[in-house]
Amino acid sequence: MNAPLPAHSFAQLPPISEIWVYLSGSPLLALVLTLSAYLLGLTLYERSQRNPLANPVLIAVLVVTLSITLLDMPYAKYFEGAQFVHFLLGTATVSLAIPIYKGFASLKGRMLVLLLSLVAGGVTSVFTAVGMARWLGVDESLVRGLVAKSVTAPIAMGIAERVQASPTLTAIFAVSTGILGAVLGRYVLDVLRITSWWQRGFALGVAAHGIGTSRAFSVNAEAGAYASLGMGLHGIVGAVVIPYATAVWF
């Protein structure tokens, strides 16, 4: 049995305030905070029987925002740790090609309808956001960010650089759009009486990007596959068309 540490050993330990100063300045704190916040959100989501109002990303965003505010942590310092999660956004988006491939056989006879839905959804997303912003007199630099936010965040940030918009603001707009779509999408689709899983999934993928796709996967595999398809196609088309449309429009 190990002997207890002598009292003078504890006296040699640094004060807890000095330990906290070290931890608060470490990128590891931001990473642990981000992962813990999402784990909390995911746990609450599962315990609520996957209620869309308990979206894990929404909960994580609120927890992280409150935490870094209370800790008085600058965003630049927080991002030093959170950038490791940010790096995985692109790889996670690409990996969604796997369920698309597995469900490719079910696309026969539906491609024309899906492409028409994609065009209608993409155009509506851009025109409603930009039209409302201009009607309210929003600064043009913010309006450019709203143009790019219509696709998933990793692609939207790349588009933002090409259209001279702020990638950070564009990411905020894109993530906010995804959260709102994931939370409210179910109720909108219920009101419209859209019951087929492939239709619901594709709509969520186009309108709510990666967060909506995650929501679709948590509910139904077919919905998740079509949400991946919708998000992927919307991202590809948006990356090509939006920069040229913005050059003409602005």
Domain boundaries, the chain: 1-95, 96-250
Distance CA 129, CA 54 (A): 25
DSSP 149: T
Distance CA 17, CA 64 (A): 22
Q: Which two tokens stand for residue 222?
A: 């077919």
* Helix, strand, coil content of the chain in percent (nearest 5): 80, 0, 20
Q: For the segment 31-50, what is each residue's pLDDT rounded down to a tens digit?
A: 888 889 999 999 999 999 88
For residue 122, the number of C-alpha atoms closer than 13 Å in the C-beta half-sphere is 23
Q: Give the closest residue to 239 by CA, choosing from 146, 171, 142, 156.
A: 156
What's the CA angle centered on 105, arms 107 and 119, to 5 degrees? 20
pTM over 0.95: no
Q: Which two tokens stand for residue 42?
A: 């995911």
Q: For the segment 113-161, what is each residue's pLDDT rounded down to a tens digit?
A: 998 999 998 888 888 888 888 888 888 778 888 888 888 888 888 888 8
